[in-house]
Amino acid sequence: MSYRAPAWLPDGHSQTIWPALMLRTPRPPYRREQWPTPDGANIALDFVDGRRGSPLVVLFHGLEGSSDSHYARALMQAVAARGWHGVVPHFRGCGGMDNPLPRAYHAGDAAEIRWILQRLALRYPLMAVAAVSLGGSMLLNYLAEEGPSALPLAAAAISAPLDLVAASTRLDRGLGRLLYTRMFMNTLKPKALATLRQHPGLFDAGRVRRARTFVEFDDAVTAPLHGYGTALNYWQRASSKPRLRQISCPTLILNARNDPFLPASALPAATEVSPTVVLDFPLHGGHVGFVSGRFPGHIHWLPQRLLDFFLPHLQNSSSQANPPAKP
């Protein structure tokens, strides 16, 4: 299923999350559960309930996203239309939940993905997992660490910052810094300062307040908070691109070549991934945008692309688990 941007939508930053944000779909019929984390916090998970025995589609959101992000609403509506189960787990401090612990979430946080999927797998034997942007980096790191033991029957990473060093050159300069970095800092910095009030001395409040770029914020907060030391060390160690050969789960990696968060030169070649990884790099689509159709456009292409990729893997596993009766 190839993607073609509408002729009225020019290349560049205009084909990003911004037009998609203006094309929000209705809120799905979510049912919320709150789960305790292994280390004593709580996270929220918003479920869409499907038919009994149908597969589950999990969606991990991006940086400061939620179940109300445009891509989450669109995918969960498409999942509900098929009668499948869906869920959007929220990372620490997202989805309206407080985060009382001296840790957040980050690109290399495979552990957070692991325990959530382990618990979901106890309830849903047929499971496919998608993840967006930073969540995509977390998912790919999990898949690489688990290898053949990974729980999903199929997976997809959308607009993931596969090379965090290369991504930093986009987000901390020019229009990327003016638009996107400023938007993220508006929520990341207050959350970091709230954590500091609960855990005095954890990092330098002055550096947090002065942070205007991701290198400044990650160097002050993300890297030391999660054991990486410096921003550069965090970016190098948490990048998923060097680990893509270790993935055994059938996995779609979908990145637009005009994504303002990652230069096309940083996208992996087929020789840099395992045979189970499918690379899809359309020319247009921006960052989790993929607006298509006649003006004003729609954002249905992405959910359809994901579900079309998941379907044969879910069907194969379902038929193996329930073989036809012998005549």
Please tell me whether the overall predicted TM-score, pTM, comes out greater than 0.95 for this model: no
Residue 255 φ/ψ, nearest 5 degrees: -135, 130
Confidence of residue 323 (pLDDT cuts 50, 70, 90): very low
Active site positions, annotated: 133, 259, 287
Answer with the residue of higher pLDDT: 176 or 248.
Answer: 248
In this prediction, residue 23 carries a pLDDT of: 66
Average pLDDT over residues 140-151: 98
Confirm if 92 and 103 have CB atoms less than 8 A apart.
yes
Supply the Cα-derived Rg of the chain in whole angstroms: 19
User: Strands 154-158 and 42-48: what pairing?
Assistant: unpaired
In this prediction, residue 298 carries a pLDDT of 86
Q: Looking at the predicted structure, is the pLDDT value of residue 324 above 60?
A: no
- Does residue 21 surpass a pLDDT of 70? no
Using a 10 angstrom Cβ sphere, with 0-12 exposed, 13-18 middle and 19 or more buried, the burial of residue 223 is: buried
pLDDT confidence bin for 9, thresholds 50/70/90:
low
Q: What's the whole-number mean pLDDT along residues 198-225?
A: 95
User: What is the model's pLDDT at position 325?
Assistant: 43
Phi, psi of 297 (to 5 degrees): 90, 180
Q: How far is the C-alpha of 67 from the C-alpha of 135, rounded, in Å?
A: 13
Contacts of 185 (CB under 8 A, 6+ apart): 211, 212, 217
Helices (H) and strands (E) in the chain, counts: 12, 8
Q: Band of the pLDDT at 19, cuts 50, 70, 90?
A: low
- Lowest average pLDDT, out of 70-84, 148-162, 172-186, 222-236, goes to 172-186
DSSP conformation letters of 258-297? T-TTS-GGGSPPGGGS-TTEEEE--S--TTTT--BSSTT-
Instruction: Report the DSSP pairing between strands 154-158 and 127-132.
Output: parallel
Quick check: 317 pLDDT over 80?
A: no
Any alpha helices (H) in the chain, and if so which ranges?
Answer: 17-21, 70-81, 110-121, 134-146, 164-171, 174-176, 182-198, 205-210, 214-217, 223-225, 231-238, 301-321
- Model confidence over 47-69: pLDDT tens digits? 999 999 999 999 999 999 999 99
In this predicted model, what pLDDT tens digit does every residue of 75-94 receive, in sequence order? 999 999 999 999 999 999 99
Tell me what pLDDT residue 183 has: 87
pLDDT at 46 (0 to 100): 98
